Amino acid sequence: MNDKEQLQHLRHSAAHLLAAAVMELYPHTLRTIGPAIDEGFYYDFDFGDVKISESDLAKIEDKMHELVSSWKGFAKQDVTEEEARKAYADNPYKLELIDEIVGKGEPITFYQSGDFSDLCRGGHDNNPSEDLKYFKLMKLAGAYWRGDEKNKMLTRIYGTAFFKKEELDNYLTMLEEAKKRDHRKIGRDLDLFTFSDLVGSGLPLYTQRGALIRRTLNNYIEELQTAEGYQQVWTPQIAKAELFKRSGHYDKYHEDMFHVKSNYSEEEMYLKPMNCPQHTQIYASKMHSYRDLPIRMTDFAMLYRDERPGELNGLGRTRAFSQDDCHIFCREDQVDAEIDKALEMTKKVMQTLGFSYKYRLSTRDPQHPEKYLGDKAIWDKVEKWAEEIMKRNNIEYFDGPGEAAFYAPKMDLIATDSLGREWQLSTIQIDYVQPERFDLVYTDSDGKEKHPIMIHRAIIGSPERMMMILLEHYAGNLPLWLAPVQVALLPITDKQAEYAQKVKEMLESKGIRVELDASSERLQAKIRTHTLQRVPILAIIGEKEENEQAVAVRTREGEDLGKMSQESFISFLVDKIDTKST
């Protein structure tokens, strides 16, 4: 068992311990499910008429510490359907789970530790009394039973657990720092985006400054792609259901897609949640020879997914977003070169943005082959191929069984930010399924028709989500090339206003985003204002600077860069912007 699995087992055990403590303190509570998750664990409860608040978490936590001392292990109990139903006769949630287990023909198992027993498939720490000491209950949240808004709202208690006190302390410190860096607060402070109840939840509205950041990210990616022979297309945000039925997305995702009703047609239509099905139709619009390939399509068109309200999170999880999407139609012998090109582009972007990263090789869930489309032999081939690509490029990677798309395994980039948090960003997929489902063909050198390979590729993924990550990664202090305002000109008195305006016009003529503060505030107040606005460069203009046709330069961090002539100042800025220096 690897370290990640051990930690998952510890956290799953902590969920059991949480349920045991709740049942001791609130014996009439109905417990439901309690899994381990990436950041810890949770358990969902129906407290009935009892109301609990976050002030009660300390009491529950104390009870957990009291109980765990007697938990020497987890004893597995195989039970019959009748025994299981009798044990949970008064708990409709557990009875529903039992119905599912019976329906699948799976064994019913309970796991007991101390005096507490729970319906469970297993996966626990072997010695909880020794290992399960460093945990913390984090918060309460509402959660619909089985994630369905038609069901009852339950109370979800979140917690986390680690094997070492130092690991728990570091995690809690990171959370405190993350609160200070919350992109939603930074977005308000810097006037980047907003949400409106009249527009709808999960639908961000970008101000001039926020739209500029979003556009700058897209332009950066597009410049790289254009230089490598990628060409941008544009596709509509709406399509017939038949398109998604053909691709296979309808069966997998239609519950998370926005259904669109026409006043003049009975056709079933949806807002598109991804670009790939429409790109197949651009390819299919004309005949292709082997000489035409590869064809590289990029697309920044908007996408829409009907995310559940409880899962929406600022720019991190929205209902409207775009992607730096690319689909490459190529011959099989071209796949390696195309993927190497994509990996090199991704490496450059990650270095520019300041992220360390690794890859996850996302493969099939061997227990559920029914989730995937296509021939097993092709899946075997592509999974092995993806592994060879990782090794050939000397890329650090780890296995992610069960994380594959339904049509192909994935090479997913996992970036680490300045707080040590991990984010999935880019992805590369070698897809044999979609070309076959849409009957896409090209004429090969032997005159025969063959299906192309379809490579799916994104680098930063959603620029909206990337904005969130970057705002928190940099604590709002975006690098000069990405900052919505790059330079603040701060004349000391009104006497320098005319010269400051001249400098402003010179900077703007070079494409530099500049703001002139002509207010009557004292200089220190101006410096404070623009420092709080995270403007990277402050250019102070006093009588000496005007006489010498110069500016006094300092950074938002307070570093004095000295006096620069107009020409030197512009050269300094242009160099940092062009090189995308952090």
Q: Give CA–CA dist 153/47, Å, rounded.
A: 10
* Catalytic residue flag (residue 325): yes
Residue-level pLDDT at 557: 93
- The answer to whether 46 and 157 are in contact (CB under 8 A) is no
Q: Is 270 helix (H, G, I), strand (E, B) or coil?
A: strand
Which residue among the candidates 327, 360, 465, 554 is catalytic per the annotation?
A: 327
Which residue among the candidates 120, 276, 326, 330 is catalytic per the annotation?
A: 276
Q: What are 565's strand-pairing partners?
A: 550
515's CB contacts (< 8 A; 6+ apart) are 485, 487, 488, 489, 530, 535
The packing angle between helices 497-509 and 566-578, to 10°, is 40
* Catalytic residue flag (residue 371): no
Residue-level pLDDT at 330: 97
- The answer to whether 145 and 123 are in contact (CB under 8 A) is no
- The answer to whether 460 and 426 are in contact (CB under 8 A) is yes
Which residue among the candidates 46, 299, 324, 325 is catalytic per the annotation?
A: 325
Residue-level pLDDT at 131: 93
294 upstream amide cis, omega within 30 of 0:
yes
CA distances (Å), origin 159, targets 18, 36, 43, 101: 9, 9, 9, 27
- The answer to whether 70 and 129 are in contact (CB under 8 A) is yes
* Catalytic residue flag (residue 276): yes
**pTM of structure:** 0.84
Q: Where are the beta strands (DSSP E) in 278-350?
A: 295-299, 302-304, 320-322, 325-330
Q: Is 428 helix (H, G, I), strand (E, B) or coil?
A: strand
Which residue among the candidates 225, 323, 434, 496 is catalytic per the annotation?
A: 323
Q: Look up residue 313 and give its DSSP letter.
A: B
Domains and CATH numbers, the chain: 3-173 (3.30.980.10), 188-473 (3.30.930.10), 487-578 (3.40.50.800)
Residue-level pLDDT at 1: 60
Q: Is 356 helix (H, G, I), strand (E, B) or coil?
A: strand
182's CB contacts (< 8 A; 6+ apart) are 314, 472
* Catalytic residue flag (residue 305): yes
Which residue among the candidates 209, 364, 456, 554 is catalytic per the annotation?
A: 456
Q: Give CA–CA dist 471/534, Å, rounded.
A: 11
Residue-level pLDDT at 147: 81
Q: Give CA–CA dist 137/134, Å, rounded.
A: 11
Which residue among the candidates 296, 410, 451, 504 is catalytic per the annotation?
A: 410
At 185, the amino acid letter reads: K
Averages of pLDDT over runs of 10 residues in the chain (582 residues) are 85 96 95 93 94 94 95 92 93 94 92 93 91 95 86 94 95 91 94 95 96 95 94 94 91 88 90 94 96 95 89 91 94 95 93 92 87 88 92 90 88 90 90 94 95 94 93 95 97 92 95 94 94 96 94 95 95 94 78
- Look up residue 216 and give its two tokens: 């700058």
* Catalytic residue flag (residue 85): no
Residue-level pLDDT at 266: 87
* Catalytic residue flag (residue 456): yes
- The answer to whether 473 and 420 are in contact (CB under 8 A) is no
